[in-house]
Amino acid sequence: MSYVGPDFDPPQPRRPRRGPLTVALAALVPGALLGWVVYEALDGGGPDRAGSAAPASRTARASSSPSALSASPSASGDHSGGDTGADGKRPTGTPTAAGSGPLKGKVVVIDPGHNPGNFQHAAEINRTVDIGTNRKECDTTGTSTNDGYTEARFTLDLAHRLRTLLQQQGATVKLTHDGDGPAWGPCVDERARIGNEAHADAAISLHADGSAPGNRGFHVILPGSVHAGAADTRGIVGPSHDLGVRVAGKFLRETGEPPSNYLGGGTGYVTRTDLGGLNLSTVPKVFIECGNMRDTKDAALLTSGAWRQKAAQGISEGIVSFLRRS
């Protein structure tokens, strides 16, 4: 049985028999190809030449501080909503055992926002926990697309894809939850604690927003300076800022998803001091809202397995850039 989805390609039409003209033209191809190779060698062509990435995207990649990010053309997807297995699918490159690649010795904590079972445990997730500045709900159910594809399902799938890519670089990767543990949570304070106790070199919380239709785009949430109660972010504000800038630039380049048109003034960055996952972190950490699930254009991307792989690639490249910084 044939299946068209995020990990399968549709059957290709059978090629017609070649005629004499086709054969004659084929004979000219090697010479033309050789000329192209020579041209490329002389011209210094490379992956960043025009046609590989929009100039605005390259400008955003080079940025070293939060500023407006220019949008690339929107990426298309298969709109399947298919999820990966525990190790993700469609990995790029040759798998590398954790600890034996260029990121050997680096620890990354991935926090898939919410939990697919949260909606069945209202009492547990509604109890409040201390986030330093005040008390807040343990967790929430998250949002979903109009067709019922949940944020929790999205973030867990994206986390699996991202884990695979980072492990290929040799990083040790820990998830705050993996879909096979407790049926709810963990609470936001525990999510921060997992990163702290792992002594993570970088941590990222994955989300998708639930704003009004017409509001679209991604934004990266940076920790503000907090020094109250159990929270003290003063030591991580700087490196978290650096991490967020790198993730935003790479995410934009890989996905083409524009910066948010409803938060952050078009910059793609928002600073907050009301999130326990950031307030209680003692390691560099950011959140990324990958798009708005309630907008039809963004929903079409977020439900695409092919697009989620691009999102994972962009986030991974941002984290790798941060961990390999001089």
Question: For the segment 146-159, what is each residue's pLDDT rounded down to a tens digit?
Answer: 999 999 999 999 99
Q: Which residue has the higher pLDDT, 142 or 48?
A: 142
pLDDT at position 24 = 40
Q: Is the pLDDT of residue 83 over 90?
A: no
* Minimum mean pLDDT range among 9-13, 102-106, 117-121, 275-279: 9-13
* 197: amino acid identity, one letter: E
C-beta separation of 135 from 126 below 8 A:
no
| pLDDT value of position 201 | 98
> Would you say residue 325 has pLDDT above 80?
yes
| Distance in angstroms (rounded) separating the CA atoms of residues 294 and 196 | 33
- Name every residue whose Cβ is closer than 8 Å to that of residue 145 and which is 6 or more positions away in sequence: 293, 294, 299, 302, 303
Tokens of 131: 């986030």
- What's phi and psi for 240, nearest 5 deg? -65, -40
Bigger pLDDT: 1 vs 279: 279
- pLDDT (mean) for 97-109: 83
Phi, psi of 226 (to 5 degrees): -130, 135
Quote the mean pLDDT of the chain.
78
pLDDT digits (tens, 9 = 90+) for 180-210: 767 898 999 999 999 999 999 999 999 999 9
Among residues of the chain, what percentage have pLDDT more than 70?
A: 69
Write the pLDDT tens digit of every residue in 236-254: 999 999 999 999 999 999 9
| pLDDT for the residue 67 | 56
Mean predicted confidence (pLDDT) in 260-288: 97
The pLDDT value recorded for residue 95 is 39
- 55-323 CATH: 3.40.630.40
Predicted confidence band at 168 (pLDDT cuts at 50, 70, 90)?
Answer: very high
Query: Which region among 49-58, 211-220, 282-291 has the lowest average model confidence (pLDDT)?
Result: 49-58
Cβ(247)–Cβ(323) under 8 Å?
A: no
pLDDT at 114: 94
Q: What distance in Å separates the CA atoms of residue 245 and residue 64, rounded to the nearest whole number?
A: 7
87 compared with 217, residue with greater pLDDT: 217
Q: Which amino acids are annotated catalytic?
A: 289
Q: What pTM, to 2 d.p., does this model score?
A: 0.74
Is the pLDDT higher at 62 or at 173? 173
pLDDT at 75 over 90: no
State the pLDDT at residue 43: 34
Nearest to 223 by CA among 155, 277, 142, 159: 277
State residue 180's pLDDT score: 74
